Amino acid sequence: MNEYDSNRILNLVKKVGYSKTENLNDLDCYILNTCHIREKATEKVYHDIGRLKKYFKNKKKPIVLVTGCVAQAENSAMLEREPYIDAVIGPQSYQNIPDILSKLNIRKNKLNFTDFDVVEKFDKLNSIRNFETKISSFITIQEGCDKFCNFCVVPYTRGPEYSRSPEEIINEAKDLISNGVKEITLLGQNVNAYSSFNKEGKIFKLSDLIFKLQSFEDLKRIRYTTSHPKDMTSDLIKCHESVKKLMPILHLPVQSGSNKILEKMNRKHNREEYLSVIRKLLKLRPGITFSSDFIVGYPGETEKDFNDTISLIKDVNFINSFSFIYNPRPGTPAFNDKLVEKEVQKERLKILQNLLEKIQIGENKNKVGQVQEVLIENKMKNQSNYFGRTNNLIPVVVNEASYKDLGNVINVRIKNYNRNTLFGAKEKEEREVAA
């Protein structure tokens, strides 16, 4: 979501005369959009500001804005800790950035915009068209979280769950498609909790949005992330069978394979319920693949609990996942819980990541010699090769493709692989047909 938010912020500041620059010497305003999931992200903010201060030590200081979840969480404390910052702006207030910039240009007092007003936010953003021109793009459809997992800061930094109206989303999708976008990913902290009303008063859920989007002929692919297992409803699961534009990969965070730890986390699902969702999806969409998130060394995690997570990974065979050592976040219920020994955490993370890497490499290796459908997104810099992704979101470097393949799904014969990327060539038959 940070990428989407950053693009929308750029659209906002363009309205008041700013443009993006890669040259610090041209800098009038520095906007740092942040995430607060992990402690390292918070400290990175101050590190980045420190580098900026050093560069502009003998130069005119730019306006410095910190936006996003770190700004929301740190609030006025951030302004006190780092006076170089001119304003902190929470994720539900960045629609105010043009006004903030105007105020800061007139007077140099510090500004704090960290109220939760998501309705006002989207009311303002809906009036500014999304001119994203990438082949693959994003639309935020839902923000906030009502799940209150004991380890997570999102409910406190993003606020309660809020869903945009289907009309707003569809209009944004139409804009993107008219600009050449071929793949849309629907975004939300709990994207599958999406629920709104259309102008006729009918309830619109994520499944309804997906069905609506599939009707747009020029849109080739649909994805959504991030999902909560509790909200994988039967209608949404059914979409994976009936909507062929909905890609066969689902990011479904589980965090742990131990029922004891899942309960301590307040995840509101257990191992069996999670696996039941996986089985239902596999039955309706054979070949669908999964990715997930894992927290290692959560307070109270024993060797048995950890082994339960390992066995879950082996059962599902996740093709790509994110894994972290538990990082206590201030303000969360688990913040003061007794931690697992650091060395034990590190050893368990190593074991888990080695297993995930082995599965990922094995999956990529198995694709050598196969033909994969690849959406070509761009030409690679300083190379004659093109870049795209498979239906399962695996990056592919493609040779023997051409400019006319941009935005098209082509057949690619996989020749080689590494952990993260496949390498292949456009199929000969495809070239002959095109000729």
Pair (91, 141) in one structural domain? no
Pair (197, 338) in one structural domain? yes
Q: What is the pLDDT of residue 113?
A: 74
Per-residue model confidence as pLDDT tens for the chain (435 residues): 667 788 888 888 887 889 999 898 889 999 998 876 666 777 888 999 999 999 998 888 999 999 988 888 888 888 889 999 999 998 878 888 888 888 887 666 787 776 666 666 666 666 666 666 789 999 999 999 999 999 998 898 888 899 999 999 999 999 999 999 999 999 999 999 999 999 999 999 999 999 999 999 999 999 999 999 999 999 999 999 999 999 999 999 999 999 999 999 999 999 999 999 999 999 999 999 999 999 999 999 999 999 999 999 999 999 999 999 999 988 899 999 999 999 999 999 999 999 999 999 999 999 999 999 999 999 998 889 999 999 999 999 999 999 999 999 999 999 999 999 999 999 976 444 444
Q: For residue 62, count other CB atoms closer than 10 A to its CB.
A: 18
- Which CATH number belongs to the domain containing residue 404 in this structure? 2.40.50.140
- Which CATH number belongs to the domain containing residue 203 in this structure? 3.80.30.20
Phi, psi angles (nearest 5°) of residue 111:
-125, 140
The candidate with the shortest Cα–Cα distance to 140, out of 116, 179, 172, 97, is 172
- Which CATH number belongs to the domain containing residue 75 in this structure? 3.40.50.12160
Give the pTM.
0.81
The candidate with the shortest Cα–Cα distance to 156, out of 165, 145, 164, is 145
Pair (37, 141) in one structural domain? no
Pair (276, 408) in one structural domain? no
Encoding tokens for residue 332? 């969360």
Q: What is the pLDDT of residue 314?
A: 98
Pair (31, 142) in one structural domain? no
Pair (18, 152) in one structural domain? no
Pair (338, 412) in one structural domain? no
Pair (356, 375) in one structural domain? no
Q: What is the pLDDT of residue 131?
A: 63
Residue with tokens 């995930």: 356
SS3 annotation, the chain: CHHHHHHHHHHHHHCCCCCCCCCHHHCCEEEEEECCCCHHHHHHHHHHHHHHHHHCCCCCCCEEEEEEHHHHHHCHHHHHHCCCCCEEECCCCHHHHHHHHHHHHHCCCCEEECCCCHHHHHHHHCCCCCCCCCCEEEEECEECCCCCCCCCCHHHHCCCCEECCHHHHHHHHHHHHHCCCCEEEEECCCHHHCEEECCCCCEEEHHHHHHHHHCCCCCCEEEEECCCHHHCCHHHHHHHHHCCCECCEEECCCECCCHHHHHHHCCCCCHHHHHHHHHHHHHHCCCCEEEEEEEECCCCCCHHHHHHHHHHHHHHCCCEEEEEECCCCCCCCCCCCCCCCHHHHHHHHHHHHHHHHHHHHHHHHHCCCCEEEEEEEEECCCCCCEEEEECCCCEEEEECCCHHHCCCEEEEEEEEECCCCEEEEECHHHHHHHC
Encoding tokens for residue 220? 């080739």
Pair (73, 151) in one structural domain? no
Tell me which of 52, 87, 117 is where a domain ends: 117
Q: What is the pLDDT of residue 330?
A: 87
Dist. CA 275–CA 263, nearest whole Å: 16
Number of structural domains in the chain: 3
Q: What is the pLDDT of residue 6?
A: 84
What angle, rounded to 10 degrees, do the helices at 234-242 and 271-284 form? 30
Pair (401, 344) in one structural domain? no
Tell me which of 117, 143, 172 is where a domain ends: 117
Ramachandran class of 180: left when φ > 0, alpha when ψ lies in -120 to 50, beta otherwise: left
The sign of the dihedral angle between the CA atoms of 236, 242, 244, 248 is positive
CA atoms lying within 13 Å on the CB side of residue 164: 25
Q: Which residues pair with 294 in a beta bridge?
A: 255, 323
Q: For residue 77, count other CB atoms closer than 10 A to its CB.
A: 10
Pair (358, 425) in one structural domain? no
Strands 29-34 and 63-68: parallel
Pair (167, 256) in one structural domain? yes
Range of the domain at 156: 120-366
Tell me which of 366, 382, 399 is where a domain ends: 366
Dist. CA 101–CA 47, nearest whole Å: 23
Q: What is the pLDDT of residue 36?
A: 66
